Every structure is written in structure tokens, then in C-alpha cells.
Structure 1
Amino acid sequence: MAADLIRICDPDDVRIAEFRNIRERDLTGREHRFIAEGTVVLRMLAAAHSRKDAFAAEKILLLENRVAGLSEELSAFPTDVPVYVASAEVLDAIAGFHLHRGVLALGRRLSCSEPAQLLETLPERSLVVAACGISNHDNIGAIFRNAAAFGADAVLLDETCCDPLYRKALRVSVGTVLKVPYARGGAITDNLSALVEAGFHVWALSPSGSTDVRDIPTAPRVALATGTEGAGLPQDVLERFDTARIAQAPGLDSLNAATATAVALYQIAAGQGRI
């Protein structure tokens, strides 16, 4: 066990105040804190906490009947991380809805690198995803999951992307937001310029791209720029950088942003020998 279990009987107990009404509000942006939900994300938070580089766990809140099955996950946390338990009735009153997973944790981001700073830490052979305008939390979470699956070294999010530490995005990512290094901020053009200066060949993903993703040449450093559904990447980005498209059957103009990113990442990662 990470620590002795502490029973919570009152939904208004100040010790678990950060977990209240998490459907209506989110801790993202509040002193870099966030809510991790579910067993898999809890496991990823434990791994991130042990690395002591970017994230830390502050406290855990569990449904009482989930404790026995989480002994391995809980043992991965140090004993100074308090573990609170509550009945289903109390836990639902705390969360503000029926929390069927019964697993919550409060985490904190310890360091927030600027895009240029993050690029300085990457290896000589690198693969980076540069996202622009992704405001859908499902897409953000899925992009991180794709990045982890295909061995990407980092994700750069421009200032118009939503925070990947939003509870739903973190859950959809199956906790990979806590694993794949990322930076959020700046305009997409500035982020792509920083990538070029760092020796990356930037490919802008677009349904009208000039090169099939299967024909993207292998290079030591590759960055895939992906935009939001509908508008896609800004026109100045498409005019400045090489563009790539995903071949598909007639009758549909594009794929979901996260799906398109996955297909392109697969092709690039295969070319670099990552998978």
C-alpha cells in the first residue's frame, strides 16, 4: 500500500475538496493540478511520479470496493501520498455524478517547458507531432495515445489547443499524456519554425497534400503537423511546408484529426524503424 487508508464519510470533507463536482469543473490551469481517472491512468501516474521529472501525485480517492484490486498500483506510490476511501454514495456525492470506475487521483505537473526548450532535449533521431487548433478533448487524448503507440518523442501543442491534462483528454489518452513529453504554447508557425531550426523536416498533413504519406522519405528528424477538423492547418503553413495526404475512397473529404494523425505517424514511424 502507498499509505494507510483514510475513510471519508462526509462529501464536504476538506481533505478531498479538489475532487468535488469534477464533471462541472476541472482542475486544469489551477496551479498545474489535474484529475486522473481510472486504473490505467492511475498506473501511468504512478510511473510518472517515480520518475520525478514532470509529474507528481498528491492524493488518491477510491471507491471502497476497488481497494483490494488495486494493491499493485497503490504500492507503486510512496507512503506520503494519502489514499482516501469512500462508499459509493459518498463518492458519487463528492464527484457530482455516478463514478462507476471508482478511481481518482490528484496530480500536479512539476515542470512546463516551452516548445524550444523541449526540442533541445530530443535525441538525434526524433519524431514529433505538432498540433494546431485541436480543441476537442477526445482528439487531444487520442493524438497522445497515437504518439505513444508509434514511438513519437514529443508533442508540441500550439496556444489554441486545449490542455491535454483536462480529465477527459487524460482518460482518452490512457495516461500517455503523462508519458510523452510535451509543451503547449506559441503560434503554430513559431513552433514549426523552431522545429526547422532544430533540424526537423516538417510535413503538414492535409487532404490536399502533394505527397502520399506512404511516400514520405525517411529522415533522421521528422515533424508531423496536424490541424483541427474542418479548417485544418492554416493556409500559410500549407504554403510554407511540404504537405502530405492520406489516400482514401471517394466521397469523404477527410478523416478524423486523431485518426489521420495515427495513419501518418504509422507510416513515418515505420520509415524510421520505430515499429
Structure 2
Amino acid sequence: MTLAPDLAARLVDIDDAADPRIADYLDIRERDLVARSGFIAEGTVVLDHLLRSERFRPTSLFLLKSRVAGIADRLALVPHDVPIFAAERAVMDTVAGFAIHRGVLAHAVDRNARQRAGESAKDGGETAELAEFLARSRRAGAPLVVAIGLANHDNVGALFRNAAAFGASGLLLDGASCHPLYRKAIRVSVGTALTLPFHHGADVQAIWKALERSGHRPIALSPRGTVDLAELKPGEGLALLLGSEGRGLPESLLAQTETARIAMAPGIDSLNVATSAAIVLSRLYSAA
């Protein structure tokens, strides 16, 4: 397929894996989000979310040459100041450090990263950003999902996907949870981590105090929960608290929070955390 002249003119051929212009894509499996500026988005579905995101913006694209023609419509949406690099498979795989089967990568940044960092340093545990995040969630009226100690990338990604599917207002993750911008978490979320509002990094007690001040009703999911799910109503500022599989939520948090339990067959006392969230959010979404 012949490329449109304007798209062909934008492509930057990369034939050397050591080209400094693609340094952001070097050994992305090992480096991932750690010690780098920005993050990597992988695949066309994730790219679609990135291009729609209000919070994040691409700084460059790195494509397999054979994929360019097939995604020309998407590439037309890429801002003109964003370079589009293209390479043959051998070069791309060498740069990334493994086989990039999808052939579509983007490097992106938070539009307001410096402002967020300044607020976090200035305000300590409960930042002004956290307060504003919760205020927006409260105004939206939809349930908020709160993840505590959720370190698994797959679970965090799936949690985003389910939260987006059932209309949650956003995700609040403590500092012990996996950062949503890890490449695998973004991929498993099918890009929703880039469009669903989230806040990451506060400690558990700061989260609890901030939820109280914002007028949310925290509900912790626990095998020992006492609140019937049927009693939960959409629109009442619910904040659904979820812990990691195995450890669950801290006892200190359970002691000061209303708890709810999902009914299960005898002999089974737990579900995957993303599945648990989907069950509760689906019930609330259907009742809205």
C-alpha cells in the first residue's frame, strides 16, 4: 500500500539500533518505568487511548515499517510535533531487547508531571492533588476503586479494565501498589490506565483520612464482610477498598471500615481481586 505523501514525509527511518533518537525505547523490558522519564505504550488499542487521553501525551512513536500503512488513520491523529520513527523488525527488536510482535510503541509523558511532583513534595501524605482527585470523583457520583498493596501488574491492569467497563470514577492506589504506567499494566488494562483518572502513591492512613474529608463512604471487600452487597447504592460516593490476594487489606483498616462480602460456594473464600471488583461494580452499574 502506498502511503499518503504527508504521512510518508513524517516518517523517520531508523536503520541503526544505536541511533540516539530512539534511546527512550532501549531495553524497555528491563528498564520499563524505573529510572526513565515517561513510559512506554504498546499496541494499537493502547495507542488509541493515549491519543484520546487528557492527562498524557506522546513524545514519539516507534513503529515496525510493515505496520505503518495499516494504521495510517491512527497516525493522522498524532500531533505534528511528535516524531514517528520506523524500522525493520531486526532493528526494532534489538532496540527493545525482545520481539515486539505488535510492532507499535509510543513513548509518552504526563502533561503535568512537574506540577504533580511539586505538590507531592510540598504537601506530604495527603497532597492537594489527592484532595482534588477525590473531589472530582465525588462530583462524578460513580464508585471509586481503591487498591491497597496491589503489587501484581496483571491485577492492576485488569482492575483498570473492569473499573472502566463498569463506569467507576477512577482508581486510587497506595504507594505499595504497582504503578499503573508500567508497560504490562497498561497493556493488560487495554489502555484504560491512560484514560481513567487515577492517583498513585499516598500511604494507607493518608488515603483513609482523605476519603473521610471528601465525603466518600469506604467499603472494604473482605471474606468476613458484614454488609450485604444489595444494600450498596450507586450515587452515594462509594469507595470500594481492595487488598492484595493472600494478605488482603490491613487489619487496622478493616477495623475502621464498613466491610462487604461476595457470596460464594462453600469451601471457597476468595476471588481474584479484579474479578471481585467487577462483580461489585457490575451490580452497582446495573442498579444506576
State the Cα RMSD in Å.
1.7
Q: Given the alignment, which residue of 249, 270, 273 partners 1:254?
A: 270
What amino acid is aligned across from residue 166 of structure 1 in structure 2? Answer: Y
Runs of 5+ in structure 1 lacking a partner? none
Conservation of the 8 A alpha-carbon contact between 2:223 and 2:270:
yes
C-alpha separation between the residues in 2 aligned to 1:3 and 1:125?
46
Aligned residues: 267
- SS of corresponding position for 2:269: coil
Query: Which residue matches 2:36?
Result: 30
- Structure 1 residues 2 and 55, CA, compared in 2 at 3 Å: closer, same or farther? farther
What is the percentage of aligned positions where both structures have the same residue? 46
Runs of 5+ in structure 2 lacking a partner? 1-6, 117-127
- SS of corresponding position for 2:202: coil
Shift of 1:219: 4.3
Conservation of the 8 A alpha-carbon contact between 2:58 and 2:106:
yes
2:52 aligned with 1:47: yes
Q: Given the alignment, which residue of 15, 19, 26 partners 2:21?
A: 15
Shift of 1:23: 1.4
Query: Which residue matches 1:209?
Result: 225
Q: Given the alignment, which residue of 202, 205, 219 partners 1:189?
A: 205
Q: TM-score, normalised by structure 1?
A: 0.92
Query: Which residue matches 1:232?
Result: 248
C-alpha separation between the residues in 2 aligned to 1:15 and 1:27?
18
Query: 5 Å matches for 1:89-128?
Result: 89-111=90-112, 112=116, 114-122=129-137, 123=139, 125-128=141-144
After TM superposition, the structure 1 stretch with the greater mean CA deviation from structure 2, 136-145 or 206-215, is 206-215
Conservation of the 8 A alpha-carbon contact between 2:144 and 2:171:
yes
Q: Tell me which protein shows more helix as a share of its residues.
A: 2
Shift of 1:252: 2.2
Query: Which residue matches 1:4?
Result: 10
C-alpha separation between the residues in 1 aligned to 2:267 and 2:103?
43
C-alpha separation between the residues in 2 aligned to 1:70 and 1:218?
39
Query: Which residue matches 2:123?
Result: none
Query: 5 Å matches for 1:72-221?
Result: 72-111=73-112, 112=116, 114-122=129-137, 123=139, 125-221=141-237
